[in-house]
Amino acid sequence: MSEVVARVLVVEDTPTQAQLARALLVGLGHQVEVAESAGAALVAAREWRPDAILLDLELPDYNGMELMLRMRAEGIAASVIVVTANASINAAVEAMRAGAVDFIVKPYAKARLAVTLANALEKRSLVAQLATVKARLDRDQFFGFLGASAPMQAAYRTIESVAASKASVFITGESGTGKELAAEAVHRASPRVGRNFVALNCGAIPRDLLESEVFGHVRGAFTGASADREGAAKLADGGTLFLDEIGEMPLEMQVKLLRFVQTGTFSPVGSSRVERVDVRFVCATNRDPMLEVQAGRFREDLYYRLYVVPVELPPLRARGEDVLLIARHFLSQFAREERRAFAGFSPAAEQSLAQYSWPGNVRQLQNVMRNIVVLHDGDRVELDMIPRTVRRGAADEEKALGELAFAEVGRAEVGRTEAGRSENGRSENGRSENGRAELVTAARVVRPAAPAGEEDVAEIVPLAVMERRLILAALRQTGQDVPRAAALLEINPSTIYRKLQTWRVDGKLPAG
Amino acid sequence: MHPELREFGAGYLRTQRKDWMSDLGFAAQLADDLSPEDLRMVLSVFGADVERLTAALSGAAQAGDAAAFQRAAHGLAGAAGAVGAVALERACRAAMAGEGAIPAAMTEIAAISRVALGDLARILAGLDAPA
């Protein structure tokens, strides 16, 4: 019996052949239907969706070739094996040109039928796998990520490849590129998906508490430790431990983490009890980890333990069309949430978004889209709805691009004068193209400059005072609408609520 | 495979004339590949096909209907080919190819079919015999 149970449609109008084929196929463990005409076969193929079809070419209504054409037109993807007599092998070859995967000559033994069918099914499976892989290569979404650009496809492939193993993953990328999302993707694509994903931001936890957060503590381990508490390592047992901003981890803690990574064992703070866990490590930093090692801020031995499979998340400015893809996604999401009519962007708005360098990456784009949707409404986003920072940044970059292009043209002109007229102008064109590629790269990393003259007129006051003034001004301007004020300031509404509460407590605001 | 059937198959292969199931190797293969129940079912269907299609051939020959004769000859050739009855298959394919006049082809096919049906009856009786 073959290993794969398949649905096989036998298309045969001679009962002896049909029953023999049925008996052999059932004996091989397959499910079988018989159609005695091409028309009946088409109906069965449409409704029963067989994996393979054993097809006699000579049929009472129309022939097997015509049947194959009709099935293909309907998108029926069964593997067709043509059954033929010695005398009609030429017809079988012709049928293979028309899409049949193989042919089998009558009379055939069970073993021959089994091999031919297994080959056909394997080929079909490979074709299906190829289609899946192709679809993955073209995908624009991956475990919460949006983006179809080549650098993101590379990141998706790496995540997918490493997910099944236990190898440590080291994610690098600028702030806002989605490092935690990538860590979650590693976990969700892995066999550990049924267990915990525990994320710890090493930069956000006070140094004194970090060891306890990672390894837990026992009651009385330190002042305030009133009960035993499990740490991230224990919680992540069987799952994934994500150490974000690993570069911020103090060196003395790095020693303890190294021991944990090497042995899989740790002791909670205040305890001599050794615990063993099965944890997959995923780390992230927005710094260059090797530079941190060279600067002595990150232990080299820990680096080599954790930097096993690197995943580099590209900055948004390197992701081409992804900017607009993501912008459209957020526009649609926020318009739905805020009950706005926005359905797209004007060409000028699109151009502005596409040209900006997005130093804050996807997070910044998300905030900008929220800002636009909260403050405006209409069928489409117009250029003047885009925050000035972005418009100005895009314009600056366009200007920089233009200046560089102008300079490049100048250089090309000089080159042409110096080199004289070259063959068909090819060398000038080559230089110009190369120069453009360079200047595009250079221009992409330009950051939005401060508005001209703004520094000159600004009153110098403590930052906290300026922060309070700005937030209160935004609230006044929006009629005390916190979400809109937050959108204007490109911060979370919760930040404003928290600040207001603090100022009230400090008496810097009237209560209520 | 049931040992009695294997014995029957071997004995059958040693003793039968080659005018029906002359591809004896394949006939043995059928007995190996199918359960006794399936072998009986397939051979019974083959017998029914031979009777039905030779009658259709005869009717077409008498009516001088070449197209109907071709269709019936094609069906009979397929059935014979499926169970390895090479002589019958060969005669049908020769008739389909227009080798000789229809009446003469009909006579030959009818004769081979009669032998085939007789042999088939004996095989089926052997299959039904107690072990």
| Residue-wise pLDDT tens digits, A188-221 | 999 898 899 999 999 888 888 899 999 999 999 8
- Say what the pLDDT of residue A364 is: 92
User: A109: which chain B residues are within 8 Å (Cβ-Cβ)?
Assistant: 26, 29, 33
Cα–Cα distance measured from residue A411 to residue B14, given in angstroms and rounded to the nearest whole number: 96
Helices (H), B3-35: 3-15, 24-33
Q: How far is A39 from chain B (nearest CA, A)?
A: 18
Closest alpha carbon to A76 in A7, A22, A26? A7
8 A C-beta contact, residue A224 and residue A208:
no
- Which whole number is the average pLDDT over B7-24? 40
**Angle subtended by helix axes A251-263 and A207-215, to nearest 10:** 10
The answer, yes or no, to whether residue A414 has pLDDT greater than 70, is no
Q: Do A85 and B82 touch (CB under 8 A)?
A: no
CB neighbourhood size of B44 (10 A): 15
Asked if the C-beta of A61 comes within 8 angstroms of chain B's C-beta atoms, the answer is: no
Mean per-residue pLDDT of chain A: 83
- Say what the pLDDT of residue A445 is: 22
Confidence of residue A477 (pLDDT cuts 50, 70, 90): confident
- Say what the pLDDT of residue B22 is: 41
Confidence of residue A499 (pLDDT cuts 50, 70, 90): confident
Query: Which one of B1, B29, B33 would you mutate to disrupt binding with A, by most A Cβ within 10 Å of its Cβ?
Result: B33
8 A C-beta contact, residue A175 and residue A317:
no
Cα–Cα distance measured from residue A453 to residue B15, given in angstroms and rounded to the nearest whole number: 113
* Closest-approach residue (CA) in chain A for B85: A107
- Say what the pLDDT of residue A254 is: 96
The answer, yes or no, to whether residue A423 has pLDDT greater than 80, is no
Cα–Cα distance measured from residue A86 to residue B105, given in angstroms and rounded to the nearest whole number: 21
**Angle subtended by helix axes B66-83 and B24-33, to nearest 10:** 70
User: B95: which chain A residues are within 8 Å (Cβ-Cβ)?
Assistant: none
- Say what the pLDDT of residue A128 is: 80
Structure tokens that stand for B43 in this block: 């051979």
Do the bridges between strand A141-142 and strand A275-276 make them parallel or antiparallel, or are there none, so unpaired? unpaired
* Closest-approach residue (CA) in chain B for A60: B71
Q: Give the ipTM of the model, two decimals please.
A: 0.82
Name the strand (E) or helix (H) holding A279.
Answer: none
Q: How far is A18 from chain B (nearest CA, A)?
A: 9
The percentage of chain A sitting over the pLDDT mark of 90, rounded to a whole number, equals 58
Q: What is the DSSP letter of B6?
A: H
Q: b/e per residue, A142-158, with b = 16+ CB within 10 A?
A: bbebbbbbebbbebbeb
Q: How far is A12 from chain B (nearest CA, A)?
A: 10
Q: What does the pLDDT look like over A73-96, one tens digit per residue?
A: 888 889 999 998 766 778 878 888
- Say what the pLDDT of residue A323 is: 96
Question: Across the strands, what pairs with A52?
Answer: A8, A79
Q: Judge if pTM exceeds 0.80.
A: no
Name the strand (E) or helix (H) holding A31.
Answer: strand A31-35
Spatial CB neighbours of A437, under 8 Å, sequence gap ≥ 6: none
Spatial CB neighbours of A172, under 8 Å, sequence gap ≥ 6: A179, A284, A285, A286, A287, A288, A289, A310, A311, A312, A313
Name the strand (E) or helix (H) holding A281.
Answer: strand A280-285
- Say what the pLDDT of residue A509 is: 64
Return phi, psi of residue A22, to 5°: -60, -45
Nearest to B33 among A19, A56, A110 (CB): A110
User: A106: which chain B residues are within 8 Å (Cβ-Cβ)?
Assistant: 78, 81-82
Amino acid sitting at position A135: A
Min mean pLDDT across A39-53, A364-378, A389-403, B14-28 is at B14-28
Of residues A148 and A397, the one with the higher pLDDT is A148
Q: What does the pLDDT look like over A317-351, one tens digit per residue?
A: 999 999 999 999 999 999 999 999 999 999 999 99
Nearest to B79 among A16, A24, A58 (CB): A16
Q: DSSP states of A335-388 as a string?
A: HHHHT----EE-HHHHHHHHHS--TTHHHHHHHHHHHHHHH--SSEE-GGGS-H
Closest alpha carbon to A332 in A375, A382, A381? A381
Of residues A6 and B126, the one with the higher pLDDT is A6
Q: DSSP states of A178-246 as a string?
A: -HHHHHHHHHHTSGGGGS-EEEEETTTS-HHHHHHHHH-B-TTSSTT--S-B--HHHHTTTSEEEEETG
Return phi, psi of residue A33, to 5°: -125, 150
User: A58: which chain B residues are within 8 Å (Cβ-Cβ)?
Assistant: 74, 78
Q: DSSP states of A72-116 as a string?
A: HHTT--PEEEEEE-GGGHHHHHHHHHTT--EEEESS--HHHHHHH
Q: What does the pLDDT look like over B52-85, one tens digit per residue?
A: 999 999 999 889 888 899 889 989 998 988 887 8
- Which whole number is the average pLDDT over A36-64? 93
Q: Do B83 and A16 touch (CB under 8 A)?
A: yes
The answer, yes or no, to whether residue A461 has pLDDT greater than 90, is no
Count Cα neighbours of B124 within 13 Å in the Cβ-side half-sphere: 16
Closest alpha carbon to B68 in A60, A106, A15, A18? A60
Structure tokens that stand for A74 in this block: 């309907």
Q: How many CB pairs under 8 A join A and B?
A: 68
- Say what the pLDDT of residue A292 is: 93
CB neighbourhood size of A392 (10 A): 18
The sign of the CA dihedral B77, B83, B84, B87 is negative
Q: How far is A14 from chain B (nearest CA, A)?
A: 6
Cα–Cα distance measured from residue A44 to residue A48, given in angstroms and rounded to the nearest whole number: 5
Cα–Cα distance measured from residue A242 to residue A234, given in angstroms and rounded to the nearest whole number: 13
User: A24: which chain B residues are within 8 Å (Cβ-Cβ)?
Assistant: 33-34
Nearest to B29 among A14, A19, A109 (CB): A109
Q: Do B45 and A16 touch (CB under 8 A)?
A: yes
The answer, yes or no, to whether residue A167 has pLDDT greater than 90, is yes
Cα–Cα distance measured from residue A229 to residue A214, given in angstroms and rounded to the nearest whole number: 11
Q: How far is B100 from chain A (nearest CA, A)?
A: 18
Q: How far is A118 from chain B (nearest CA, A)?
A: 17
